[in-house]
A and B are shown apart, each in its own frame.
Chain A
């Protein structure tokens, strides 16, 4: 017979950030800082020409800001905060959540490298593909958690 979880521990578990969220948010904060540093440098470069090659960093600036910072932060927070299941694992299976984190960041890294190595044509689509897979996994993990308490069937 399956051991029934201690209700107090289960309740506490709801408010603790899962490891996947911690990793996603911390990486998103690092991307935020990197993107701001590049952005600040580019802004200064607009008035006082620092180095012509700096404009190569422009796509890194906005890809890191949008995907690395904002999207990753929102995904990590949603995985932590959205309504949890009442039975079984409160946030669903852990493995797909780890894959979501790994694929998203591996994909983003490939995409960022592709801007610095324009000859490597396969990197950008490969990166986008991995990010797309991670987002599909995110939707799979979140879909049944987007429910009102009344309609929570689990």
Chain B
């Protein structure tokens, strides 16, 4: 298992725990912030946990092209991990406070940055994985 896959899976597990803890907290009687936490724990579970597991395992298991075999931990893979996790952390820190902070410049920059980082991570992941999803003919051609 390449180190980057371990990072993806372990950070995924942290989000898994945080997600279920927040979901539990949001359901407690007397907690009035449940609605604000809803997008946070859903994204922790769906992006932080499930998507990161899929990304980490596919980077590990999907057949590499000849060029990719020389560098298992390529730039797009490392960039996908860091942009996704930085983007998610910024999002989780800022999103619950959106109704409280209106038109704060720094706050808006954090949200926009988080959004750009999350989208960038998907693009980096696609750059890595798209050439690895290929027909036998193309694989033979690439590897020859």
Contacts and interface: CB of A to CB of B under 8 A. Distances in A.
A65 to B, nearest CB: 6
Interface string B44-58: 001000110010001
A22 interface: yes
Interface string B94-112: 0100100010000110011
Given A29-B126, A33-B126, A77-B58, A39 B139 contact: no
Nearest to A17: B133
B131 to A, nearest CB: 11
A125 interface: no
Interface stretch (A41-49, A88-96, A102-110, A135-143): A41-49
Measured as residues with beta carbon below 8 angstroms from the partner, the interface class of chain B is 20 to 34
B126 A22 contact: no
A41 B125 CA distance: 19
Interface of B: 46, 50-51, 54, 58, 61, 63, 91, 95, 98, 102, 107-108, 111-112, 114-116, 118-119, 122-123, 125-126, 129-130, 133-136, 139
Given A22-B135, A33-B123, 13 more contacts: A17-B133, A29-B126, A32-B122, A36-B118, A40-B118, A41-B115, A43-B91, A43-B115, A47-B98, A47-B102, A70-B46, A70-B51, A81-B61
Interface of A: 15-17, 19, 21-22, 25-26, 29, 32-33, 36-37, 39-41, 43-44, 46-48, 65-66, 69-70, 73-74, 77, 81
